[in-house]
Amino acid sequence: MTKFDEATQAIRVDENTYDVCLDPGYSIGGPLNGGYLMAAVLRAVVDASPHEHPVSTAVQFLRVPNPGPARVRLEQLKAGRTAAMTRATLIQDDTAYIEALVTTATLGAGGSEWAGEPLMPMPPIEDCVTLPDPKPESNMTFNAQVELRFDPPSIGWFTGEPAGRPESRAYFRMSEPQDPDPFVLALAVDALPPVVFSAGRRGWAPTVELTWHLRALPTPGWLTLIGQGRLIRDGWFDEDVEVWDSDGNLVAQSRQLARLGRG
């Protein structure tokens, strides 16, 4: 079991209840990363489902949970031959922190009938760069769990020269050797810096709602994350992310709505 598997482990209490322990190692300046929280919830959903893969997940982030013990409560809405639907609630101290609607199914290993191209071409991985390690006082423990190698034009904000448009692109893998699976993909769709950084905005940008789709099972190796936004307005912004595997397959898509940070 990898560190990530352990950090997202869901232990069955009964058919509708699972215990989880939220790991402080996935903090983004204090709050836990939303993709990490989704992965923990999905462990419980998949374990209780007759199907193996979380093909559609829609999450409302109601509050910011603390590291430590929590519970996932499940309500089975439908269990069909090809798909099952579940409502999952992450609860801490009798308070709901996350509400999710999850559809599970069983994906095959066949090829695509049709597939488009990535939103943006990526340079070779050797031409991409890593950001410096954050200072310990920043409480950015998430950075130690993953490796991100960025397309240089998408991180001009770091040197004070933002591109002027909402975008973020990087190669991604776990720091500890681990082949990507659906739970790693849940983390990956929320692993990029907020796309509004490249539009000149800074500060914590809390996600309010995130929906993501698992489109195919990824092959081993680096994942490619391509993020962009369409509208920044009235203190809100959107962020779309595509995830491509090392064989060039589109394996996940996400869209989130978030608040603009202050800073």
Integer CA distances (angstroms), 211 to 11, 144, 177, 214, 236, in order = 25, 25, 27, 10, 16
Residues 6+ apart with CB under 8 A from 249: 112, 115, 216, 218, 219
What is the C-alpha separation between 12 and 253, in angstroms, rounded? 29
Residue 230, phi then psi, degrees to nearest 5: -115, -30
Q: How far apart are the first and last CA of the chain?
A: 39
Q: What is the pLDDT of residue 263?
A: 56
CA torsion 61-65-130-158 (nearest 10°) is: 70
Q: Provide φ and ψ at 159, rounded to 5°.
A: -100, 10
Domain boundaries, the chain: 3-106+122-259
Per-residue confidence (pLDDT) for residue 121, from 0 to 100: 86
Q: Determine the Cα–Cα distance for residues 186 and 254; give it in Å rounded to an integer.
A: 9
Handedness of CA 11, 22, 104, 176 (dihedral sign): negative
Q: How far apart are CA 113 and CA 131, in angstroms?
A: 38
Q: How far apart are CA 263 and CA 250, in angstroms?
A: 34
Q: What CATH class has 3-106+122-259?
A: mainly beta
Residue whose C-alpha is closest to residue 48's, from 79, 15, 21, 81: 15
pLDDT value at 262 more than 80: no
> What pTM was computed for the model?
0.96
Q: Are 225 and 204 in contact (CB under 8 A)?
A: no
Q: Kindly report, residue by residue over 158-188, the tens digit of the pLDDT.
A: 989 999 999 999 999 999 999 999 999 999 9
pLDDT band at 136 (very low <50, low <70, confident <90, very high): confident
pLDDT digits (tens, 9 = 90+) for 198-253: 999 988 899 999 999 999 999 999 999 999 999 999 999 999 999 999 999 999 99
Is the pLDDT reported for residue 261 higher than 80?
Answer: no
73-115 pLDDT, tens digit each: 999 999 999 999 999 999 999 999 999 999 999 998 777 777 7
Mean pLDDT score across all residues of the chain: 94
